Structure 1
Amino acid sequence: MFVSPPLPATPPTEKLTLAGVAGGLLALLLALTDADPGRRQLWFYAALGLVSSGTLAWSWLKFGGHPAGVQQDNLWRRASTARGAVAWATGLALTGFYVVLYWFSDNDGLGHFGLLNNLVHALDGFSHSLRARPADQWFLYGTFYTLAVLLMGARALWKYRHSRYQLIRTASVMFFQLGFAFLLPGLLQFFQQPEFYFTYFWPLKYDYLFPGTVTSLLHNGGVGVFMVFWGAVMSLVATPVLTYYFGKRWYCSWVCGCGGLAETAGDPYRHLADKSRAAWRWEVRLIYPILGLIILITALLWAHFATGGTLLGDAGNVAAKWYGFAIGSVFSGVIGVGFYPLMGARVWCRFGCPMAAYLGLLQKHFSRFRISTNGGQCISCGNCSNVCEMGIDVQQYAQRGAPVVRAACVGCGLCSTACPRGVLNLENGPREGRLQASQLIHADSLRILS
């Protein structure tokens, strides 16, 4: 009987850095419970410092001090990355945080933010400097979110330093998260302008094309008019054009904050994506109806607006609120991030994101982007399928020498990076080269639906 060898022991230096991260989490707990404002702020920033320094030091020791290359060893044997006890504990902690953030941290009008009140007010000084106003739970969340992208982005830079494509792509999501999704919205508020996220577009940021949001922005003068123009052009004009030339990767893997967190903080869990046909069926059953639902809600709200508010009564706004609760909060937040350690990092992108569905339809049917394969060189090692976070069995395409043309593919390029033989290549070629893959996908779809 085969007995797998024991896991390699963690070096003492790595243990020391992980102890620093654990100390930071303990300091964060003390900041959450300490009633003294001065000590609370001290604990909070000590926590950020310990977590940041510990994560960066561990990343360098783990990846920077070893030969470059995609290292996927023992992922299915570790409790943290194989749905073991550590993974479940991490998933429960992340899910609990999102539940508290969304439903137990409302501002009561007196500056109290529920269970996260102490952590929120520990950021008041930073918030005043950036936004000229006190912190709230969303500023706390944005700070944590951005820090996670930056720290785990540094880990990815060390881990994939041998790949120019991965270095540029990782730097891109770090830049857009820090600059356009965190600092710029804060500076807009500092100058008493509407908070606006220039890297989020309809239908992902669904309310940006709702009549109420558009009317409100238009009343804010030239800046508001530009925001409406930007949102409409990026959603309806730039997105199809960019997707035609570059596939959905220009957004999902280079710009989007959801994708940015998945590609950095979610990188240790990319192998957990379900690659079964049953998962593919659920992908089709969920993501396209969600896209259709937000299109319908947007159209109904505009029809209601055009009729002077007499068409739907409160039904349109109620539908929008329920969509925001079920899809915008539960699916994208609680499930989308909380289930990273159990279902992989792209659960939201794969099964729920309407922007991914929109981009995927464009990519599958109209884009020049594809991943070409050379079946004669494939050795069936399975590395490409193992690293695919979107649940695509890339190896099957490689073995047949068929280009990968899938609506789900976000063009992260890890399949190509992980291939030891250079079988897979990301290309923006003529559409004629997509014919074989389209025929194979059609045949696979018929088998799935039968």
Structure 2
Amino acid sequence: MKSLKIIHKIGLVVFTIGFFTFLSLFFLGQYQLDKNVLKESIGEEAFTSVDKIAEDIYGKKYSNQFAFVSDFKSILNETNTEIKSRFEINPSLAEEIAKSANVKSFQQSSIDKALGEPSGEAEEWQLKQLKDYTGWMEGREYESSEELVAQLQKVISDVNNSIISQKGFSKDNINNKAFTIAKQSEVGPVVQNPWLWLFLAIGIPIIGAIMYLLPKLKTEHAGIKNDGIFHSALKNRGWIGILLGTFLISFYVFLYWFPEYMTSWIVMVDPLSKMLSGNPASQWFMYGFLYTLAILVMGIRMIIKYRHSPYQMVRTVSVMFFQLAFAFVIPEILVRLNQPYMDLKNMWPLDYSFFFDYRLNEMVEAGTIGLFMLGWGIALFTLGVPIFTYLYGKRWYCSWVCGCGGLAETLGDPYRQLSDKSLGAWKIERWLIHGVLVFAVVMTAAVLYTYFTGSSQLLGMNTYSIRAVYGFGIGSIFSGVIGTGFYPFMGNRVWCRFGCPLAAYLGLVQRFKSRFRITTNGGQCISCGNCSTYCEMGIDVRWYAQRGQNIIRSSCVGCGVCSSVCPRGVLNLENRDEDGRFNQPSLIGNDSFGVQS
């Protein structure tokens, strides 16, 4: 027993060393810009403008990504300034055009007279843009020369505003190029030996974690124990938990908006990406890899912890399998086979981009397999959700299949007791999660409207703006930054409870048309409170157990932990006929005192 405790402590030390090695990669990168890499990345036309400005940093070695990215972005911004000054049209040209124009019937030939014969690339571009932007004005009558000048000045302003998007680098383009160039320009130790650093930064923490977990098979009893968890600096909003939450939030912020600063981590997993898909790693491959490892390693912890419960062990193995096979490996292999990337277990509206134009076009153009993917995705949420939720409740997906649920049930399990059980939190939950579902439906309807009609305007709103707002606010901030980063602050199911539109859809079906319920035996309840404490969805399970009422809340994901931690066997997950789900007798002890609807 003593030797097992030593292994347990050594495992913690090994994990800590490996984790800090992983963090150190953030600061180990070295960068050197190569002219050929730059040319290949931004294209030959844009390179002509950038090359002159970038001369000073060719071959210069940077010791960190912050200085390199800053200088590179400055180069592109300077290029934008130079391009704009070269192609910008002087607003006074509006008066020159108006002088030779007929206000009673505007003709584009007046533009040729004002500009004269183009003498270079800039003049040719200006002439073409002015004609493109004034095509609708041909033959139009104006009341005065002043009105025509005002209209021409607006056209010139629109052309000038379009220069960067057409000839230069937009903000998004700068960020994308910064990531691509930073990754291709890294020359540090990680690039030279990615397999070594993969072992040091990922392999060693895994070895340490397993050494830390396995001794618990012999040194600790199975199940949840109230052994100081509310005094833990890691598990009860203590300083370690705050540091971990800060790290998770920072990780997601960099992942979504500043991946150019994560290049060492991404380069480290390049060999794995090339093995699976044949392509270099992106930030999303790196994220999927880490996400999968977290579920697998912490899944081992779950199996050890809940080894007294066959239900918990099988459920944990299920989420580990679906994450590894369906969410990580199979989509990468599909890419290697030149097929659309798709997580076959993910569905709308959780996969909110499923009906985006590029996704639909990709599936349609892929032929038989693509059409199968389209049909499968539609069938999954139109038929799979109502049928399987009727038979098994939302647990069939949220607790057995879903990757978000899988991460919450494994990596997030130490924080399940932090979920707010108050009535106020429940009210906020209902408004938020159903509000996100409505938002997802409206956004998807707008996207499909644009796809079939070609118009980006719907009821006075730009459909692309609706899509962008949803992707930023819900897809990134809510599901990522808050949904996972807030584990150590608000519990492990923040996203599932307050924001997931699919959970809202599943919950509506489960609440009103399902065979699933958690039955309770009020006569056996000793009011220990374990069930409520460890309910990750913020349900006061004890309130129902004391009254002998079925738990049929729409938020319940059927994880079964409340049953697993009950010392008296009061709670039981069941799939039975719908009769009796509602209006069952309320009990205190063995004495019935009426019926609660």
If the length of structure 1 is used for normalisation, what is the TM-score?
0.91
Q: Structure 1 pair 121/326, CA: closer, same or farther in 2 (3 Å)?
A: same
The Cα offsets for residues 105-146 of structure 1, whole Å up to 9 and x where unpaired, read as: 1xxxxxxxx111011111111111101010010010001000
| Alignment partners' CA distance in 2, 1:311 and 1:408 | 36
> Residue type of the partner of 1:367?
S
- The 5 Å alignment of 1:1-16 reads 11-16=5-10
> Residue type of the partner of 1:181?
A
Verify the 8 A CA contact 2:433 2:499 in the aligned structure 1. yes
- The 5 Å alignment of 1:9-408 reads 11-34=5-28, 35-36=188-189, 37-39=191-193, 41-105=195-259, 114-309=260-455, 311-312=457-458, 315-408=462-555
Q: Structure 1 pair 21/374, CA: closer, same or farther in 2 (3 Å)?
A: same
Residue 134 of structure 2 corresponds to: none
> Residue type of the partner of 1:85?
W
| Alignment partners' CA distance in 1, 2:341 and 2:456 | 30
Verify the 8 A CA contact 1:194 1:224 in the aligned structure 2. yes
The Cα offsets for residues 420-447 of structure 1, whole Å up to 9 and x where unpaired, read as: 111000001121211126999xxxxxxx
Shift of 1:255: 0.2
> Residue type of the partner of 1:319?
I
Q: Structure 1 pair 137/430, CA: closer, same or farther in 2 (3 Å)?
A: same
| Alignment partners' CA distance in 2, 1:22 and 1:379 | 41
Q: Structure 1 pair 60/100, CA: closer, same or farther in 2 (3 Å)?
A: same
Shift of 1:14: 2.5
Verify the 8 A CA contact 1:30 1:43 in the aligned structure 2. no
Verify the 8 A CA contact 1:64 1:158 in the aligned structure 2. no
> Residue type of the partner of 1:274?
D
Shift of 1:50: 1.3
Aligned pair count reads: 424
Verify the 8 A CA contact 1:98 1:334 in the aligned structure 2. yes
| Alignment partners' CA distance in 1, 2:358 and 2:305 | 45
Verify the 8 A CA contact 1:40 1:118 in the aligned structure 2. no
Pair member with larger Rg? 2
The Cα offsets for residues 272-304 of structure 1, whole Å up to 9 and x where unpaired, read as: 000001100110110001101111111222233
Verify the 8 A CA contact 1:199 1:256 in the aligned structure 2. yes
Question: Secondary structure in 1 aligned to 2:484?
Answer: helix
Q: Which runs of 5+ in 1 are unaligned?
A: 1-9, 106-113, 441-450
Question: Secondary structure in 2 aligned to 1:143?
Answer: helix
If the length of structure 2 is used for normalisation, what is the TM-score?
0.69
Verify the 8 A CA contact 2:235 2:241 in the aligned structure 1. yes
Q: Structure 1 pair 399/280, CA: closer, same or farther in 2 (3 Å)?
A: same
Shift of 1:61: 2.0
Q: Structure 1 pair 29/70, CA: closer, same or farther in 2 (3 Å)?
A: closer
| Alignment partners' CA distance in 1, 2:393 and 2:253 | 34
| Alignment partners' CA distance in 2, 1:225 and 1:158 | 42
Q: Structure 1 pair 244/324, CA: closer, same or farther in 2 (3 Å)?
A: same
Residue 416 of structure 1 corresponds to: 563
Verify the 8 A CA contact 2:222 2:308 in the aligned structure 1. yes
Shift of 1:396: 0.5
Verify the 8 A CA contact 1:303 1:311 in the aligned structure 2. no
> Residue type of the partner of 2:364?
L
> Residue type of the partner of 2:463?
G
| Alignment partners' CA distance in 2, 1:64 and 1:400 | 38
Verify the 8 A CA contact 1:405 1:438 in the aligned structure 2. no
* One of 580, 583, 591 as aligned partner of 1:433: 580
Shift of 1:184: 0.3
Question: Secondary structure in 1 aligned to 2:567?
Answer: coil
Higher mean C-alpha displacement, 13-22 vs 231-240:
13-22
Identity fraction in percent: 48
Higher mean C-alpha displacement, 378-387 vs 35-44:
35-44
Shift of 1:211: 4.7
| Alignment partners' CA distance in 1, 2:255 and 2:367 | 33
The Cα offsets for residues 245-273 of structure 1, whole Å up to 9 and x where unpaired, read as: 10000000000000000000001000000
> Residue type of the partner of 1:374?
N
Question: Secondary structure in 2 aligned to 1:426?
Answer: strand
Verify the 8 A CA contact 2:331 2:343 in the aligned structure 1. yes
Q: Structure 1 pair 31/244, CA: closer, same or farther in 2 (3 Å)?
A: same
Q: Structure 1 pair 272/437, CA: closer, same or farther in 2 (3 Å)?
A: farther
> Residue type of the partner of 1:89?
L
Verify the 8 A CA contact 2:548 2:586 in the aligned structure 1. no
> Residue type of the partner of 1:116?
M
Verify the 8 A CA contact 2:433 2:504 in the aligned structure 1. yes
Verify the 8 A CA contact 1:169 1:253 in the aligned structure 2. yes
Verify the 8 A CA contact 1:52 1:151 in the aligned structure 2. yes
Verify the 8 A CA contact 2:547 2:586 in the aligned structure 1. no
Verify the 8 A CA contact 1:372 1:404 in the aligned structure 2. yes
Q: Structure 1 pair 437/136, CA: closer, same or farther in 2 (3 Å)?
A: farther
| Alignment partners' CA distance in 1, 2:408 and 2:218 | 21
Verify the 8 A CA contact 1:266 1:344 in the aligned structure 2. yes
Residue 446 of structure 1 corresponds to: none
| Alignment partners' CA distance in 2, 1:291 and 1:215 | 25
Q: Structure 1 pair 334/153, CA: closer, same or farther in 2 (3 Å)?
A: same
Q: Structure 1 pair 439/420, CA: closer, same or farther in 2 (3 Å)?
A: closer
Shift of 1:92: 0.2
Q: Structure 1 pair 28/311, CA: closer, same or farther in 2 (3 Å)?
A: closer
Stretches (4+) displaced over 6 A: 437-440
| Alignment partners' CA distance in 2, 1:96 and 1:384 | 33
> Residue type of the partner of 2:12?
L
Shift of 1:64: 4.8
Q: Structure 1 pair 438/399, CA: closer, same or farther in 2 (3 Å)?
A: closer
> Residue type of the partner of 1:29?
L
Residue 80 of structure 2 corresponds to: none
Verify the 8 A CA contact 1:64 1:159 in the aligned structure 2. no
